[in-house]
Amino acid sequence: MDTSWQLSWRQTSLLIDPWLKGTEIDGFAWFNEQWHTTKPIEAGRLENYQAILISQPFSDHCHEETIHELDKVPLLVNPKSRKRLLKEFAERDMLDMPLFLDQNWLAFGDLEIAYLKSKKIFSAAFDAVLIRKGKELVVYCPHGFEFTARQIEALSVYDTKALIVGFSFFKLPFFLGGVVNPGKSNALDIIKALKPQKIFHTHDENKASKGIVKRIASVSYLSELEMKKGLEEQFIFLGADYEWCLIN
């Protein structure tokens, strides 16, 4: 739900940012607490995954309560998440994703993984994740992304099979991070840059919430038709239920 994924590619299956129970809290519950409006799939229904990938250090991506419910498989982590995860999972096998432009990849199963560092400095900065098999990529941008020219050049040699990207807009006052989710206009910029075969929306659940953030945030969510407009058959809407999609 929201931005929890299971990606199975060749013989390797990863869980990505699973948040399947309880609430997520940013700092303190009085500041921001959220919960799913559609009941998530139960952790016990998930099968045949070999690792859990954590893309961001925030609790809607790095959800300890859910990780405790899952199999004790390796954690593949954005290095920014390591400090948080070590507090409860110090005994787990934990592997850092390398930075993409360092030309290194973390090999796991049939796949290789790296992360793209956001260029933002004065507003909320969220990284993207690259998962590759040979010259093919799955690109995961739950909070959108703004590429540097160097990143675009380095990515131009790859074929993007699937782009998983957010379409909702979420903005806080600048002193609390500014734009958190940049919306469809940014998604279209990413699509233009990567030319993906298929596009999936993510992080677009209109979650229930309470706290200060709810009162001061500017938020908008798009309908299926609004997200799909102009994207034709590239766009895949999975809806509120748990569905599977096969990409050849």
240 pLDDT more than 80: no
Once rounded to an integer, what is the mean pLDDT over residues 186-208?
A: 95
Cα gap 32→11, rounded to integer Å? 39
Tokens of 128: 């993207």
pLDDT tops 80 at residue 79: yes
Per-residue CA distances from 172 to 51, 72, 178 (Å) = 33, 36, 5
Do residues 103 and 155 lie in contact, with contact meaning Cβ atoms separated by under 8 Å?
no
- Structure tokens belonging to residue 48: 């045949």
As a whole number of angstroms, the distance between CA 114 and CA 132 comes to 9
Q: Are strands 51-54 and 12-16 parallel, antiparallel or unpaired?
A: parallel
Instruction: Read off the pTM.
Output: 0.95
Tell me which residue of 247, 223, 238 sits closest to 1, measured CA to CA. 238
- Asked whether the predicted pLDDT for residue 67 surpasses 90, the reply is yes
As to burial, measured by CB atoms within 10 angstroms (0-12 exposed, 13-18 middle, 19+ buried), residue 22 is middle
Domain 5-236 is found in CATH 3.30.1280.10 = no
